[in-house]
Amino acid sequence: MTELATSRVVIIGAGLGALYAAMRLAPRPVLVISPEKLGEGASSVWAQGGVAAAMAATDSFEAHARDTEIAGAGTVVPEIAQMVTSEAARHILRLTEIGTPFDRDASGGYVMSREAAHSAARVVRVKGDQAGREIMQSLIATVRATPSIQVLEGVMAVDLHQSGDHVTGVFLTRADQPSESVLLHAPAILMAGGGSGGLFAVTTNPARIRGQVIGMAARAGAVIADAEFVQFHPTAIAVGLDPAPLATEALRGEGAVLLNNMGQRFMLDEHPDAELAPRDIVARAVYREYQAGRQPVLDTRAVLGAEIHERFPSVARACLAAGIDPALTPIPVAPAAHYHMGGIWVDRLGRSSLKGLWACGEASSTGLHGANRLASNGLLEALVYGRICADDIGKEIALCDAPEVTLDFAAGGRQPCADTIAKLRQAMTDGVGVIRDKAGLEKTISVISEMSRNEENIVFQNMLATATLIACAAHQRRESRGGHFRSDYPQPDPAQAQRSLMLLAEAEALRDRVSASLAQPA
């Protein structure tokens, strides 16, 4: 195995948080590890809604923080919500400075959308539904022009190297073909490689986002927080694609309604805010209609008509590719794994429980989202904690020159089995999906346990680690709260209104106990 050392800060991932942190660290030398070409394969690129920020004179960051806490269902850390929302406006201005073409009105003000559980229209958008792509293009251009930032594309992190409880390096392989790993020692590592949506059979996440980064940190002994809280977006476009295209929540903000195949607007009986209820409530309602065979649809015809093609081009393109004109026909929808509120536990400075390891973006769990992420707070958190992590790493790492890193991968290794990954994804959807119960959770835990025996592929080990944490944390939380709903414990329990913290070793012990119990004869 080849072993190298660099004095560059290594950033694992190439989404919004990763690139923002790399820019903030300049002129400190940085190495960004990107499995795909920049701008491809990152969840940030696919974000449609925008960035939540109290930009209007009639709004305030305090109101934004209050909405965040309400949506988070009792487990948001108030100080984190206040801090993150108070920074939002300045990051919008910074993105504007580097060329992000936010939608503006005739007087030059920012055009904002209202999304679910927000008390005001405060989601700053770009070209209707293209915020993620346009913000990322601005960041990519800036990163490409920054001499201190080196980007290695087509390279994937698969494991962490440690000396005691200190992370000192990362094992890297080719992303697109099997290869032997290269160990790269580095003074600091920032985990910014996305969430876990692809662990489920129906997801809006890019294909590679399957919990590997969280699993990698968990296998190294990092504390994982809130693993059970997975957000299912209620309106993925149900046309049989994997990943599923997304019908942004901004459509419902514009007045689009959810109907079943009998023409009934079923959200009116679910919540006073109907289609703009918190995402978990809408997702469960859509799921129940779908399970009952009453195919739910999102009807934009009355409020947008043909304007959808111009105002929401990403949605319109996805529909037209499937033979649906949303100006004439309602959009078939279904819930899909969308965002993981849980992840690598970090403190206020973005530090994990392991020395030398920071995390930001969806791979982290900061305490902002609680049990249910407020719409469009994901990109905001990535910006704020990208800044926070960069500033803290900058205090730890001296400014120095660093040559570019050159990697030479030897042939070898193997890719995880596609059929086995598909089996894991289906098990997660069946037992740890929108609605959970003890029997379903234990069946999925047993499937994960069976898969874990003698598994040697390190990429799949990372997926299994995250799946184990999600399923076991869901098994332990015997209540319903936010994105975690158990039909056998349908009410929230005030005694459990707190974040969950778990080590992989603890989750594996529970996994083995459950599996052994199920294996015993009745």
* Model pLDDT for residues 6-44, shown as the tens digit of each residue: 999 999 999 999 999 999 999 999 999 999 999 887 777
Q: Could you report how far apart the first and last alpha carbons of the chain are, in Å?
A: 49
pLDDT in tens, 302-322: 999 999 999 999 899 999 999
Tokens of 196: 């876990």
- Average pLDDT over the chain, rounded to an integer: 94
Q: What is the band of 522 on the pLDDT scale with cuts at 50, 70, 90?
A: low
pTM for the predicted model, two decimal places:
0.95
- 50-56-60 Cα angle (round to 5): 95
What is the pLDDT averaged over residues 489-494?
Answer: 97
Q: What is the band of 395 on the pLDDT scale with cuts at 50, 70, 90?
A: very high
What is d(CA 352, CA 366) in angstroms, rounded to the nearest whole number?
Answer: 10
pLDDT of residue 132: 83
What is d(CA 151, CA 143) in angstroms, rounded to the nearest whole number?
Answer: 9
3-state SS record for 331-377? EEEEEEEEEECCEEECCCCCECCCECEEECHHHEECCCCCCCCCCCH
- Residue 169 clears pLDDT 80, i.e. is over it: yes
pLDDT in tens, 220-234: 999 999 999 999 999
pLDDT of residue 439: 97
Residues recognised as catalytic: 279
pLDDT of residue 400: 87
What is the pLDDT averaged over residues 368-390?
Answer: 95
User: Worst-scoring range by mean pLDDT, 5-19, 45-59, 135-149?
Assistant: 45-59
User: Which stretch, 28-32, 35-39, 245-249, 373-377, has highest mean pLDDT?
Assistant: 28-32
Q: Could you give the domains of the chain?
A: 235-335 (3.90.700.10), 418-519 (1.20.58.100)
Percentage of residues of the chain with pLDDT beyond 90: 85
pLDDT of residue 296: 98
- Contact call for residues 326 and 315 (beta carbons, < 8 A): yes
Q: What is the band of 481 on the pLDDT scale with cuts at 50, 70, 90?
A: very high
What is the pLDDT averaged over residues 402-418?
Answer: 92
- Residue 113 clears pLDDT 90, i.e. is over it: no
Residue 510: half-sphere exposure toward Cβ, Cα within 13 Å = 21
